[in-house]
Chains A and B, each alone.
Chain A
Amino acid sequence: MAEQPDLPPASPAQRAASPAEIAAALLPRSLGVKVGILIAVTVMVIGGFVTYVLYARGVFEDTQRIALITDNAEGIAVGTDLTFAGFPIGRVRSIRLRDDGKVRIGVRVPVSEAKWLRESSIFVIEVPLVGAAKLRAFTANLQDAPLPDRAERPVLRGDTAQEIPRMVATLRAVLENVDKMTETGSSLEESLKNARAVTERMAGKHGVLGGVLGGEDQARKVIAAIDRANTLLASLGGVSLKMDSVLSKAEQRVFGQAGFVDETQKAVAQTNAILGEVRESLKRVDVILADAQTTAGNAKAASTDLGQLRAEVDASLRKLAGLIDEINRKWPFERDTKIKLP
């Protein structure tokens, strides 16, 4: 700005100075420079801030479009961030109700951030109890093919507020059960009482044994029984020692020189010899029996001849009987039936 050349200096001689003229006279000469600096700084700051806001809005950056389809876009507004792993990577630019009753959420993602979105990415609207709804992207495998420009994806919805009534109902049932379990006279209380009695006994003189057996008397009996068993085991040790010596003696008698086994061996040898002799005798008997067989065969042939002889004798006798009969008939005097064999 220029200096103020047209403002006349106050001259009391000519006329009375106006207040404005007096003020002007009191002003420093460099005020034009100062005001110029102020205005320049203001203009620069405004321009810088507008540029910064434009940069923040991604005006200088290429963006990729994604259309997210959902049944209910409640809580989502233009400007809502799309986050990946907690970092905002995109922004909702438009929300529109389609003719089929579904909501189309238009999201712009800068190309530099689009690498986080893949074909397999899942989009979720989360509605927390406090604060605005959140739009989140999950990508399981970053090696998948990148999400194409203007892709349409469905959105899942996780609403905390809708879960609460169901959760409260379930919780109430659980609390009622707990109440029943813990009320006076309930089985849980009885069990706890019993447990306390048992642990008290366990803490007594005979410890866990008393707790398990249910009293000091029984515990004492068991301890006495164990003592007796100990004594018994000691005497059993003596018995086994004696058994040892008996066994060693028996061994001496059975397996030692001229012992039972030795004699038995000799007896067996003798028996073997006797059996050999018996075998010889039996062979001779065999021969004798064969001879006897031959003899019997001869006797059989002889008996066959004897039969023939008897038949001939029979025939001769019958002829003789016939002859006698005839003689008798012819010789009636003599009634003597006695026949005299030749």
Chain B
Amino acid sequence: MAFGGEFIFRPRSWRRLLRFAGFATVAALSPSAYGPQARAVAVRQIYLTAWRILPGYLVVAAALSLLLIEVVVVSARRYGVAQYSLELVLRVLVLELVPLLTAMFVALRSGAAIGAEIALMSVRGELDDAEEAGASPLHAELVPRIAGAAMSVLSLTTLGCVIAVWLSYVVFYGFTPAGLPEFTRIVNNVFDGVELFVFGLKCALFGLAVATVPAATGLEAEPGVIKSLPAVVLGGLIKLFFAIVTIEVASLMVKYA
């Protein structure tokens, strides 16, 4: 039986993961993958991953945003750079923290579940059965789930960012449209072309990672060996966090290095 952390150090496991992710992405982007049944699976996945946790997620995002905005405003005022605090808030909160938080949130809420489910199917040999029956398990079960999870991450990130932007405006200017011209100018400063492109790419990669990494790792469970399940699920989560951190660092390097 393998210890969960070991999966990080297995090059073979990463190679399989990359191959799976590439195949799953292409499959998820091709319309032919969505039959009525696959569509239903995708809808169910989005419902479970995004809709169910939406209230809790929005509350957490708003609370964290308020806290961070207050911290930045107070310390910026103390150092006499209050005029840069809104830009700082938008850069740190909207561009970095909210997507990261969302990816982590969805990874904990659904990534582990997907990983466990796939691993269980793998242990029971259901996937092999489906393959033998002529139906590709990737198409029937995995691709819609991956697409649904990615879509969920994108959706939650968008809503979280909107909440964060709105809270920033309210904290800085209050409930009045008077600050709109200056806010627009700062938004223009923060979201220039490259920034927006990197932001979108990062969100998409987060969604893909949250969807594919636990599933791909779940496939590594040994058929018939039910004891291998916890290690596979844990290994999937660890790999997922590793992937998320890598994407975040890479995006920061592209923007600031």
Contacts and interface: CB of A to CB of B under 8 A. Distances in A.
Nearest to A91: B188
A4 B117 CA distance: 20
Interface string A183-227: 000000000000000000000000000000000000000000000
B14 interface: no
Interface in A24-54: 24, 27, 31-32, 34-35, 38-39, 41-42, 45-46, 49-50, 52-53
Contacts of A34: 47, 51
Contacts of B154: 42
A46 B158 contact: yes
B43 interface: yes
A1 B43 contact: yes
B40 A53 contact: no
Given A35-B51, A38-B54, A45 B162 contact: yes
B36 A41 contact: no
A38 B51 contact: yes
Contacts of B50: 35, 38
B81 A35 contact: no
A38 B80 contact: no
> Chain B interface mostly helix, strand, loop or mixed?
helix
Interface string B231-245: 000000000000000
A170 B151 CA distance: 65
Interface residues of A, number: 37
A332 interface: no
Interface stretch (B18-26, B95-103, B189-197): B189-197
Interface string A159-170: 000000000000
A41 B120 CA distance: 34
Contacts, number: 85
A57 B158 CA distance: 20
A225 B184 CA distance: 87
B40 A130 contact: no
B85 to A, nearest CB: 12
Contact of A4 (B44, B158, B184, B191): B44
B207 to A, nearest CB: 12
From A34, A79, A131, residue with most partner B Cβ within 10 Å: A34
A1 B188 contact: no
From B44, B83, B154, B161, residue with most partner A Cβ within 10 Å: B44
A79 B36 CA distance: 49
A130 B81 contact: yes
A79 to B, nearest CB: 6
A35 B46 contact: yes
A5 interface: yes
Contact of A79 (B44, B120, B189): B189
19 contacts: A1-B39, A4-B40, A7-B37, A18-B126, A31-B44, A31-B47, A38-B54, A41-B155, A42-B159, A45-B158, A45-B159, A46-B158, A53-B196, A56-B184, A56-B187, A56-B191, A79-B189, A81-B185, A130-B81
Interface of B: 36-37, 39-40, 43-44, 46-48, 50-51, 54, 80-81, 83-84, 117, 120, 126, 151, 154-155, 158-159, 161-162, 184-185, 187-189, 191-192, 196
| For the complex of A and B, 5 pairs with smallest distance between CB atoms | A56-B188, A4-B40, A42-B155, A31-B47, A6-B37
